[in-house]
Each structure stands twice: as C-alpha cells, then as structure tokens.
Amino acid sequence: MQSKRFKLGLISKIILGIIFGLIIGIVAPNWFIQIFVTFSSIFGNFLGFIIPLLILGFVTAGIAELGTGAGKLLGITIGIAYLFTLIAGLFAYTVGVSLLPSIITPETAGNITTAKADLEPFFIVEMPAIMEVVSALILAFLLGLGIAAIDSDPLRKIANDFQKIITKVIESIVIPLLPIYIVGIFGNMTYTGQVMTVFSVFWKVFLIVISCHILIILFQFAISCFISKKNYFRSLKIQITGYMTALGTQSSAATIPVNIQCSEKIGISKGIREFVIPLCATTHMSGSTITLTICAMSVMMLNGVPIVFSAFFGFIAMLGITIVAAPGVPGGAVMASLGVLELILGFTEPMIALMIALYIAQDSFGTACNVTGDQAVAMIVDRIQENK
C-alpha cells in the first residue's frame, strides 16, 4: 500500500521562508544574501509584468460572467455582496485610523526609514509591463461589459480561457516561487535591521484584523437574520461548519458544497442557495477587503506614507471589483489587488512584497470571513425572492 506523500501548505512554506530569511540575514555573508535578493528582484519585476495581464484576465472574465444569468436576482445578489464588501472595507479603515497610530508611532516608522541601505542584487532583469495598470482596468471593464452586452459565447470562452492561462501561471509559477521571494525580502530586512520593527507591529495588526473579521460577521448576520426573520444564534451555530471548512481549505470555491449544506439547515430555499452561494464565492470579499485595508494602512504607516481617506475609499471601492473572480488559490485576492495597491496607494516593490507575506500568513481567516458572509447574503436574497 502506497503511503501518502507529506505536503506542506503555502502558509507553512511562507513561514519557513520568513524563518530562513531571518537566519541568513543574521549569519550568512552578504554575497549569499545577495543571491536571494537578486532572485527577489527578478521575481518582483515579473510580478510587475504580470499585474496588468492578471487584471485583464480576471476582471474581464468576471464581469462577462456576471453579465448573464438570472436577471434582476443576479443584480440584487451582486449589489448586496458589493455593499457588504464596501461596508467591511470602510469599517476596517475606521478601525485602522483609530487603533494603528497607537501601534505604529513616528518612532516605529523612523526605525524603518533610518535603517541601513538594502543589499543590491547582483544584476537586474527589466520586465516592462505591456500596458499601465489603469489601461488594463479600463480595457478589462470595456471587454467584460461588451461581452456581456452582446452575449457572445465565443468571446466569453476566450476570456475564460485567458483567465485559465493566468490562473495556471499563478498556480505553477508565482505561488510555488513565493517562499523563495520571501526569503530574499526578509533576508534583506534582517540585514538592514528592519525586521524586528516589522514583527513587533504585525502580531498586533493580525489581532486587529481577526477581531474585525469576527465583528463584521456578527454585523452581517444581525442584518440578514433581522431581514429574513431567522434565529440569529441558531444561524451562527450552523455556519460554524462552513467557517471551519474555509479555515482549513483556505479556498472559497472548495467550501461551496459545505456552505450549501449550511444554507439548507438554516432554511434557505434550494434555488436561492444553489445560485447565491457559488456566485458569492467569487463576488463577496468582506474578509479579504478587511485584511487588505488594514495591512495596507500598516505598511504605509511603517514607511512614513500618509493615510488619506479619499485614496483609501477609492482603493476599497476598486477592491470590490478587481478581486471578483480572483484565482481559487491561496493568496489569490492579494495577487488580484496588486495593481490597485500600486495604482491608487502608490506601493513600491518592497511594500508589495511585505504585503504579500502578511496577507498570505492570515489568508485562511479572511477566506472564512468571506464564506460566512456569503451565507448572510443568501439569507437576504432568499427573503427578497419570497416577498416577490
């Protein structure tokens, strides 16, 4: 009988990458660290090259798919999912503005900005993107809306196939190489003396993020149970199974069957649960938006970048669109958000690298929050359908 092969998950690999980066940053000679720094530089340039293609692939296919289906019911579901995502992002911003300044003080940020210079890569491989991020966004909107408007199956298939190509690139190249990328980033941060400052801040940030996830879940269920006239505590108790499944699988798509079973136990009609739950798995992103918002604010404050509400409102509003139909792999949401981080918040490559590591380290909790919120959307849609 063949024994099962042990396989590390992405979070475990990222953690090992961080640990190895810390070790080489402390004990290894500069030339050894520079090997990983060089790889991180090349990989970072590759990410910059693929960001517009990623936006084009996922936003086009996502909008094209959302433009067809059950008419008004589709629009209502998408509207509620987007509203929940927007509320979650604004809530996260409010919490961040209130709590983060007490954690990330000017002195803390000063430790980052006054650290010694980074080690330089041995060489640089330029990979200019084929278009700007904003051009990719505009083109994706035009193509997606156009395909939905003319209801063209061949064009929709092309959009879906291109999305599959980009997904394959992420699954086969980006995700497997991320841990090595993290080694170079954290090795360099340890060499410069920044890493202890980062660690002293982000365990507190994680506690804030997870607390926000729980609070937004309680809020969403309070609203949905009030509208649908379902028992609040019973509904939450039933949904624990879906939450724990998402926590373990780290995938909204993989949790769909379990979440549909939870819907049935809660009392949501068959047609609605089988329509809304799979749809919301790629359109409702409250947990991911909370994490991205608070982590982005933290990275900006650490680097002395001012927090401006108008910029963050635009960032949150765009997140709800750009991470629609994000790849069904761990860390998909942060990959799909890289263009918005760069375009609206002005993130540099080191800031993006830190953002990726921080997001993926808690990705399970964000996914679990997304999945649980899907159930709240389904309850509201079911009630609206009953009234009709």
Query: Does residue 230 carry a pLDDT above 80?
Result: yes
Ordered by start, the domain boundaries in the chain are 10-387
pLDDT tens by residue, 166-221: 888 887 888 788 888 888 888 888 888 777 777 777 888 889 999 999 999 999 99
Residues 6+ apart with CB under 8 A from 180: 17, 36, 39, 40, 43
The pLDDT, as a whole number, for residue 1 is: 43
Q: How confident is the model at residue 336 (pLDDT cuts 50, 70, 90)?
A: confident
Give the tokens for residue 102.
């007490």
At residue 60, the pLDDT reads 81
Higher-confidence residue of 94 and 254: namely: 94
User: How far is CA 38 from its chain centroid?
Assistant: 26
CATH number of 10-387: 1.10.3860
The 3 state secondary structure assigned to the chain is: CCCCCCCCCHHHHHHHHHHHHHHHHHHCCHHHHHHHHHHHHHHHHHHHHHHHHHHHHHHHHHHHHHCCCCCHHHHHHHHHHHHHHHHHHHHHHHHHHHHHHHHCCHHHHHHHHCCCCCCCCCCCCCCCCCCCHHHHHHHHHHHHHHHHHHCCHHHHHHHHHHHHHHHHHHHHHHHHHHHHHHHHHHHHHHHHCCHHHHHHHHHHHHHHHHHHHHHHHHHHHHHHHHHHCCCHHHHHHHHHHHHHHHHHHCCCCCCHHHHHHHHHHHCCCHHHHHHHHHHHHHHCCHHHHHHHHHHHHHHHHHCCCCCCHHHHHHHHHHHHHHCCCCCCCCCHHHHHHHHHHHHHHCCCHHHHHHHHHHHHHCHHHHHHHHHHHHHHHHHHHHHHHHHC
Lowest-confidence region among 57-66, 108-117, 242-251? 108-117
- Name the band, by pLDDT with cuts 50, 70 and 90, for residue 92: very high
How much is the average pLDDT of 268-278? 82
pLDDT tier for residue 226 given thresholds of 50, 70 and 90? very high
pLDDT of 291 higher than 50: yes
| Global model pTM greater than 0.85 | no
Does the pLDDT value for residue 107 go beyond 80?
no
pLDDT at residue 3, as a whole number: 47
Q: Angle 195-228/106-113 helices, nearest 10 degrees?
A: 130
